């Protein structure tokens, strides 16, 4: 009898332990379900929403700094035109022309004598324009400022905006990022007036790279009716054998409209950096 009583107590303890384990598991499952429902209810962050917030925020920041009289509604209009270019499309089938409505929404303002193009010198070019304020790259314009460094794409049959799983720059020709920069760069070049400049990398064997955006897009969109000339700033480092007689630069000359005045200067990178650091030095002394 004693063994039977002890067996009964052991059995009851086992049942209680099992019940506690089941209750614990059920509580855990319930908490997970509630968390999922809560996220769905409050609309947790999505890549598309994050991208829109970034685009609109950058747009408003740019306008406040540069064009405070412009209505901030322009930023919502810009997002709508931008998203229509690639949402619902195969991410490798977004033509350059898909961004035409965006370009028409955001007018490119001519900056006579202040346009600075670059190729393989992005960091230096931006250091210069951000500190000296006398010249402007495409990334210093509204659309360039908004989208610099961002990635985006759509997908067939989806209304979503994605920032991951998108094709890289060279993965396919008509990806949404590459087409965007092609269209914006073309508009930037076409609006360039007066004498423009370009920073090319004198450390490279081919400073004027035919596959670069500058060569394949911008040079082809120069408008000689408003643009008067192009100055090549061949940026060299110590011990570089940079020369304005480089064969690729001869190709650049040939690609330009004969109406445009061409000149080339070899400029030491250290000279430009010293000029950037000296806030009292005028831009004309930088090269």
Q: What positions carry a catalytic annotation?
A: 112, 193
DSSP 118-153: EES-HHHHHHHHHHH-S-B-GGGSHHHHHHTT---B
Token pair belonging to 226: 């408003």
- Using the CB atoms, write b or e for 148-164: b if 16+ within 10 Å: eeebbbbbeeeeebbee
The radius of gyration of the chain's CA atoms, rounded to the nearest angstrom, is 29
- Rounded (10°) CA dihedral 154, 157, 159, 161: -20
Longest dimension (CA), the chain: 115
188 in Cβ contact with 213 (< 8 Å): no
The contacts of residue 134 (CB under 8 Å, 6+ apart) are 114, 283
Please give the backbone phi and psi of residue 196, each rounded to the nearest 5 degrees, phi first: -110, 165
């Amino acid at each position: 009898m004693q063994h039977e009583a002890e067996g009964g107590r052991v059995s009851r303890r086992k049942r209680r332990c099992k019940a506690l384990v089941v209750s614990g598991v059920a509580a855990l499952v319930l908490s997970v379900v509630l968390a999922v429902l809560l996220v769905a209810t409050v609309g947790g962050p999505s890549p598309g929403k994050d991208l829109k917030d970034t685009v609109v925020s950058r747009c408003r920041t740019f306008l406040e700094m540069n064009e405070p009289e412009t209505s901030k509604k322009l930023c919502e209009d810009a997002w709508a035109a931008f998203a229509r270019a690639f949402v619902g499309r195969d991410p490798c089938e977004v033509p350059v022309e898909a961004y035409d409505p965006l370009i028409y929404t955001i007018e490119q303002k001519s900056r006579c004598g202040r346009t600075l193009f670059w190729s393989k010198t992005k960091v230096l070019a931006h250091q210069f324009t951000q500190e000296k304020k006398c010249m402007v790259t495409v990334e210093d314009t509204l659309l360039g400022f908004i989208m610099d460094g961002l990635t985006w794409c759509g997908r067939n049959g989806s209304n979503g905006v994605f920032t991951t799983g998108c094709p890289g720059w060279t993965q396919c020709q008509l990806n949404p990022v590459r087409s965007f920069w092609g269209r914006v760069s073309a508009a930037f070049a076409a609006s360039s007036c007066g004498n423009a400049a370009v920073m090319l990398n004198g450390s490279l064997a081919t400073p004027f790279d035919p596959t670069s955006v500058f060569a394949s897009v911008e040079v082809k969109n120069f408008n000689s009716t408003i643009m008067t000339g192009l100055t090549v700033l061949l940026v060299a480092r110590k011990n570089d054998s940079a020369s304005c007689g480089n064969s690729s630069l001869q190709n650049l000359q040939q690609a330009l409209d004969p109406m445009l005045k061409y000149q080339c200067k070899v400029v030491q990178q250290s000279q430009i950096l010293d000029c950037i650091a000296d806030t009292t030095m005028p831009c004309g002394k930088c090269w």
